[in-house]
Amino acid sequence: MNLNFSAFRQILLILILTATSLIVAAQGVKRIELPLSGNMAYQTVPLGAQGVLLISKPEKGTFNVQKFDTNLERVWSIDGPIESNLDYIASSYDGQAVFLLFSKYRSSLYQIVKVNVGPGFVETFTINTLDRFEITDFKTLGYSVFMAGMVRNEPVLILTQLRTSQTKILPSAIKGSNAIQTVEVDTAHHLVNVCFAVKKGRQTRIVARSYEETGELYAQVSVDPEDDYSLLSGRLQVLNDSVRVVIGTYGYRNMQSASNAASQGLYISKIVGNEPVFTRYHSFTEFKNFFNFMNERQQEKMEKRIRKKKESGDDLKLNYRLLVHDIVPKNNNFLLVAEVFYPEYRYQNPTMMGGLGYGSMMGYPFGMGLYNPYLWNPMYGGRGYNQQVFDGFTYTHAVVADVDENGRLLWDNSINFDNVKSMELREKIKVQTFTNGNSRLVYSHNGAIRSKIIKGNQVVDSDRVIPNETNVEGDKVRKTSTDDIDYWYENFYLAWGEQRIINAAGDPQTRGRRNVFYLNKIAY
């Protein structure tokens, strides 16, 4: 009996130590601050183990690029000329070089700066596109620039070869096509994947095309919905020469309109050669954790409504919008990640852009980024929002789901966002997977880093909040106006943003107020 009890104690101790090793707290390794004044602002481009770039416009007609290594030591700083009336719009990193895009709203003139991240030199290119071209996507592959956008509400895909300054419109005519929804670079296969939402009445299907660097069409796949459904979004991923996967959201056809994109769930379609092997639909009513963002009473009401519908042989109609990430291959399975959000509008005097654009008009002094209404509503027809001013996207929660090689749902989990809001629709949550089956979910909000570790349906480490501290005695962060986080390399994350800090108790050198842009290296 005593031997058994002793053995039990040893086993229990091993289990406790194993569980403790799974839950590793995050800690700041190093933080640097750059002073902010006037309209000064920075854009951040993490480069993995190569470090990080900071882009700014210190004054009109000038841009600055600084490179920091993984210890956040400055390696080099370069200034260059740019047309004084152009805004920074976006960047694209293809694993070799970073390309910066400068333009102004509805201008045909674009300046593109190629930053060679190793030796630290830049090349500047000036190109002309189409009159009244409204850009929604900017991606680069070598010296090829792919830009998607709209001209008079018609979708256009443009390829520019920077070496020759030649620009051509790539054929995008698909019968019924009305939206280029996503443009993604596949650095592993050296392809650019473009998804088209093809509308017919209230039903949409997804046509995905892969282009080579030259603009030659490499492959095309088409995913058609079941009769009652409409495919609302799609992301193409090439797994190998013959196997491709398209994932996205779907909804009931009769619930779609130009002002509303109602997602019912996630779908996954596997294509071998050019033929779909299967398309599986997973309604959020099947998920165990999708509605965890609600309070207990709301969840009970939702479960009751779902149960009643299922008992009558139907499914409860849902109305969500989701930003779907790239699929994460996991052995023979696929990890799907998506963030639930909704756009907000205010009824005030609209800007000249109707609140749907980029640049300093939205209160961002530098680098608003791209805006793509088709990304979250393929039914959008370019009209209907002119009397409203876009006021940002509010994120409610993120969902993680694991499906097997046949597309069957194995488990799901979620993490709640704490009133996260962003003017730009982009991925907020970062997901890391580990060989022991764990997944870590991380996001940044109000200057703090929030994380959760899951294993399938289970929670290994519940929601944890790690303050993004300044490490200066007496500092108090009064306001965090922007913040972000990204997985960097190995076990390190990079957090950055703008803060207003006050110090009334520190030594004379640190006392007072300061506005800063910070970079924070965090170890997990």
pLDDT digits (tens, 9 = 90+) for 138-151: 999 999 999 998 88
Per-residue pLDDT, 173: 63
Query: Which region among 28-32, 47-51, 416-420, 468-472 has the lowest average model confidence (pLDDT)?
Result: 468-472
What does DSSP assign to residue 96?
S
Q: Token pair for residue 360?
A: 């300093």
Q: Is pLDDT larger for residue 255 or for residue 447?
A: 255
pLDDT digits (tens, 9 = 90+) for 319-332: 999 999 988 888 88
CA gap 298, 304 in Å, rounded: 10
Beta bridge partners of 249: 266
Q: Token pair for residue 289?
A: 């954790």
Question: Which of helix, strand or coil describes residue 19?
Answer: helix
Most confident among 295-309, 364-378, 468-482 (mean pLDDT): 295-309
CA gap 187, 185 in Å, rounded: 6
Q: 261, 251 in Cβ contact below 8 A?
A: yes
Spatial neighbors of 338 by CB under 8 A, at least 6 apart, are: 249, 266, 322, 323, 324, 325, 398, 399
The whole-model pTM stands at 0.84
Q: Which helix (H) or strand (E) holds 282?
A: strand 275-283
- The arithmetic mean of pLDDT across residues 438-449, rounded, is 85
- The arithmetic mean of pLDDT across residues 424-430, rounded, is 86
Q: 149, 106 in Cβ contact below 8 A?
A: no
Q: Which residue has the tokens 């910066």?
A: 100
Per-residue pLDDT, 366: 55
Query: Which region among 7-16, 371-380, 513-522 has the lowest average model confidence (pLDDT)?
Result: 7-16
The band of 162, judged by pLDDT with boundaries at 50, 70 and 90, is very high
Phi (first) and psi of residue 451, to 5 degrees? -145, 160
CA gap 305, 299 in Å, rounded: 10
498-511 burial, b at 16+ Cβ within 10 Å, e below that, comes to bbebebeeeeeeee
CA gap 432, 487 in Å, rounded: 8
Query: Which region among 113-122, 241-250, 439-448 has the lowest average model confidence (pLDDT)?
Result: 439-448
Q: Token pair for residue 165?
A: 């300054």
In DSSP notation, 301-363 reads: HHHHHHHHHHHTT------BEEEEPPPEEETTEEEEEEEEEEEEEE-S---TTTT---SGGGT
Across the chain, which distance is largest between two alpha carbons, in Å? 86
Phi (first) and psi of residue 303, to 5 degrees? -60, -40
Calculate the alpha carbon distances from 479 to 98, 232, 386, 515 in Å: 31, 37, 32, 9
Q: Which residue has the tokens 């190093």?
A: 30
Per-residue pLDDT, 506: 65
The band of 354, judged by pLDDT with boundaries at 50, 70 and 90, is very low
CA gap 447, 467 in Å, rounded: 7
The band of 132, judged by pLDDT with boundaries at 50, 70 and 90, is confident
- The arithmetic mean of pLDDT across residues 432-454, rounded, is 87
Per-residue pLDDT, 382: 56
Q: Is pLDDT larger for residue 116 or for residue 240?
A: 116
Per-residue pLDDT, 63: 92
What does DSSP assign to residue 198?
E
Residues in the chain: 524
Chain-centroid distance of CA 305 in Å reads: 32
Per-residue pLDDT, 347: 63
Closest CA to 125 of 139, 114, 141: 114
CA gap 287, 228 in Å, rounded: 21
